[in-house]
Structures are given as structure tokens and as C-alpha cells.
Amino acid sequence: MAIAAQAASSKGPTSVKASALRIVRSVNPYALTYLDQAKRFNRNKAIHRRKIIPELASGEVIGDAQPTRPLALDGGQAVPMALAEAPVPQLAFRYNAQISDVGTSDTASHVCEPTVAQNGDVIFATGNWFACVSTDGGQNYVYVDPYRSFPDPVGSRFCCDQIAIYSSQADLFFWLLQYSADANGENVQRIAYASTAEVVNGNWSFFDISSKALGFKGAWLDYPDLAVSSTFLYMTTNAFQGQQWTGTAIARVSLASIVSGSIAAEKVISKKLFNFRVAQQPEGTVYWASHVTNSRIQIFAWPDASATATSFGVDVPTFNSDQPYRSTTPDNKEWLERVDRRMTGGTQAGQQLFFAWTAGAGGVNARPNPYVQIACVDVATRTLVDSINLWDPVDAIACAALGTNGQNEVGVSYSIGGPGRFPSHVVGILTNPAIYKLTFAGQRGPNDRKWGDYLCVRRCHPDNARFIAAGYTLMNGAGNNDATPNITIFER
């Protein structure tokens, strides 16, 4: 059932009942071939034209009671200026390495979209056009071809927008692949899955979630995301007809049903609210959020035992969402023209929810460059606890991903770049106290003026006090398919 629109001025909750979702499952596992040599080919493929997202309404002006201080970089480490004169606990990198051309097969684009899933020494990473696996803790990666690993859906082929995540409860790696539109303008989000042992051996099963099954006949699904609890796998996606947005959906799939082979799933869709972002590490109830105006977000709560999701609105400090965002690198390249205001990060830490998005320069705090705004919301009181800004006086910050470790610390992975530095990757911990550290510094800006669309940070397994993050930079080369992704494991 679709979610009804809520007026920007409304403070009361809304509710919506989920409906069944029909899923098509593969009959047998597929044996994938892992390639241990770079094929050195260049697809010269253009990123698909950016779809038109709905314009965000202007809400009432909401101030920021405690504006965040800018970040001060000190020897590659970024810490809040308020802490710059006091001893600051260090971030420790347990692993920090770039994925070689063997792992990407030279197909890592400037819209790289790196994600990662990990259990022990097994690391599975994806990008827009590549996937790779390491079975020795990241010492070596082999290429997994997303174009040829599975049979194509009828009238369609692999496109882009992949996601990787691991469920420790079910011991399952999940790998989402997005496919191109068929003759009806529809496609599928394919979710492959395998146990840790099966990933090592290359045996994957899959099921498909189609446009039609979600209730978007004639529409193309785009910009997916995944989250897992001990009970469900959650998928979100947007739907477009032509260039225009037409709806957004969240689906939950029972982990027990995946294991048993008789998959059961439900869906909630909206044709009024654009781009859901699920809070990672849900337990008992899943929460997701969407923007209503540039000073208000809507948060939905869907208990495991309920067929009904409820929602409530939360005011946030007013931000600027006007496109395009502007930031120029030292080699005079615009790197944020493709980035927009959709939420890119969400996570839950105890009774607090965190949702992140990239905002344009300006807003109530008159930020000089695009920056990341993060709403911290208390679940019990349904109120804004804090508005965190990741911002810099010289450079822009964008594309933040969020995650929570086993100690309820909130990790972040984001890109920073502008006149003061080439686009670079940073990881950090937002809480108690906040601390950030550069993983790799970029060496040039994108000649095609493109960056994004998302990064990744997740809880490690089995050592859940650590985080594992995926990011990327542009190093040597000058083409559009030569980004260099990296994987970083870190802790306080």
C-alpha cells in the first residue's frame, strides 16, 4: 500500500500497511568464475544520464542551536577544532589498502559507488561496474564479473549500482546487482546470496525484485540500498518513468525464508516521498527517513512483528538543496555537479538514529561550501538531539555513509575535495568524541565532472568493535574508468 503525503506543517504520525511482495528465485546455485588476472579492458561506458529528482519544498526556517565547528586537518587526521588543543584518541587503521586492477579489471568509474561486506578473512567488495573478493584478509583480490556471472533477465542486462552487505545471524553475504530496462521500461534489482564458505568457493544463488512486483509498472528501479537485522534483509530503491521520479519503495525479506528456500517478502511504497534511507543495524524495529522539506524529515518505524509502519516528522536546521552543487579542485575540475540532496547514510546506535545527506553551500549556518548534514534523532522522544555538520572552510564534503559498531559508536565514510585538495577519502567516528582520518589523498579531479553516488561503512565481523569502510580516489591516469577504490578497517 502506498504512503499518503504528509503536509509539511503536520506534526502527527501517519501509518501505512505493508503488502505482500512476489519474488522470483533462482532454482540452483550458480558457480562463478573468479579471475586472478586483470583483463585490462576499458568499456568506455558512459554513466547513465542523471534522473530528475523531485524539487524539495521550502519549509519554515529552522535555526541551529549549537552549530558544529569546522574540521581542522592535522597531519592527515581531521578532528573538531574544539578538540584541537586537547589530547585526542587516535584512529587506528588495522587495514588500509587500495584495490588493484586485478580486483576492478580496470572498470572503476568516477561514479565509483564502492561498498564492502566482510566476515573474517573473506572480503567482498563492489563498485558501479565491478565486484571482487579476497579470501586472505585483503592481501589479494580476484575479479568477479557482474556482467557475466548470472543469466540476464529477459530483455535486460547488468547495468550498475551494486551493494554488498553481510548478515552474521544468517552467515550470508548479499550482493545486489541492478539491471537495465527492458522493452517495457522495467528492470530488476537482483540480490545474490552465499554463505562465507560458498563465497570462497564461488557458489551463489539469487532472487529478483522487479518493478512490476513493487507496483511500478513501466518504471526503472535505481539507486538501491541494503540493510540487515537479525530477522530481515531490507532493500530500498527509487523508480523512474523516463527521466522523472515516480515512486520509492522499501522491501523486507525474511532471512529464515531465504535459508529455507521459500522466500517471503513485504513492501511499502511511496509516490510522494523521494528516496528512503534505512538506518543500519536495526533490531526489533527498522527505521528509515526521507526529506519532506529543506527543514523537515519524515521517519518511519516498522516493527518486525507488525504489518504496519508508522511515521513521524522531525524538524532539522534549514539547508540549501539547490542544484548543482559547486566545488572546484586544484586542477580546475568541478567534482560535485552530479551530487544531490538525497540521503546517503543512516544508522541506529542504541536509542538514537542518524541520517546523513549532502547539502549545498549556505543554509542557516551560511556554510561556505557543500557539506554533510547529519540529523541525530532520539527514538523515544521523536525529537532532534543534534545536527552534526561535516564541513570545511575551504573544501567541500560529500557522500557520507554511516554505520554502527558493536560498541554503539557511529562510523562515517566520506569524500572531501575542493580548492585545497583533490577529492580524497576520509573515515571517522562521530561519537565520544568525534575523530576523523584521511585514508588516501587523491591526485587529480574528474575530467568528466562526476563523483558519487555513495560510499560505505559497516560493522566488522567477528570483531564488531571495528569498522570496515569503502572509498575511492583518482590517482594516475586520465580516463573515466580509472578510479582507485580502497578498503579500510579502523577502530578507535
Cβ atoms of 455 and 400 within 8 Å: the answer is: yes
Give CA–CA dist 160/447, Å, rounded. Answer: 21
Identify the pLDDT of residue 107: 83
Give CA–CA dist 309/329, Å, rounded. Answer: 44
Domains by residue range for the chain, with CATH: 2-491 (2.130.10.10)
Burial track 422-457 (b if 16+ CB lie within 10 A, e otherwise): bbbbbbbbbbeebbbbbbbbbebbbebebbbbbbbb
Identify the pLDDT of residue 65: 83
Identify the pLDDT of residue 252: 97
Identify the pLDDT of residue 48: 59
Q: Which residues pair with 387 in a beta bridge?
A: 375
- Of 487, 462, 465, nearest in space to 196 by CA: 462
Gyration radius of the chain's alpha carbons: 21
Cβ atoms of 491 and 91 within 8 Å: the answer is: yes
Phi, psi of 233 (to 5 degrees): -100, 130
Give the DSSP per-residue string, 415-460: EEEETTEEEEEEEEE-SSS-EEEEEE--SS--TT----S--EEEE-
Give CA–CA dist 89/346, Å, rounded. Answer: 25
Give CA–CA dist 134/178, Å, rounded. Answer: 22
Cβ atoms of 457 and 401 within 8 Å: the answer is: yes
Identify the pLDDT of residue 105: 78
Phi, psi of 260 (to 5 degrees): -75, -20
pTM of the predicted structure, to 2 decimals:
0.93
Give CA–CA dist 340/294, Å, rounded. Answer: 13
CB atoms within 10 A of CB 486: 21
Identify the pLDDT of residue 3: 41
Cβ atoms of 396 and 71 within 8 Å: the answer is: no
Run of H or E including 209:
strand 203-210
List, in order, residues 6 or more apart from 433 with CB less than 8 Å away: 80, 83, 88, 89
Q: Which three cell numbers stand for residue 93?
A: 587503521
Give CA–CA dist 109/91, Å, rounded. Answer: 29
Cβ atoms of 69 and 436 within 8 Å: the answer is: no
pLDDT along the chain (492 residues), means of 10: 39 75 86 80 55 91 87 47 53 95 83 97 96 96 94 95 97 98 96 98 96 96 97 97 95 96 94 96 97 98 96 97 95 95 97 98 96 97 96 96 97 97 96 92 93 97 98 81 92 94
What is the DSSP pairing of strand 172-179 with strand 158-167?
antiparallel
CA angle 474/81/319 to nearest 5° reads 70
Give CA–CA dist 67/96, Å, rounded. Answer: 32
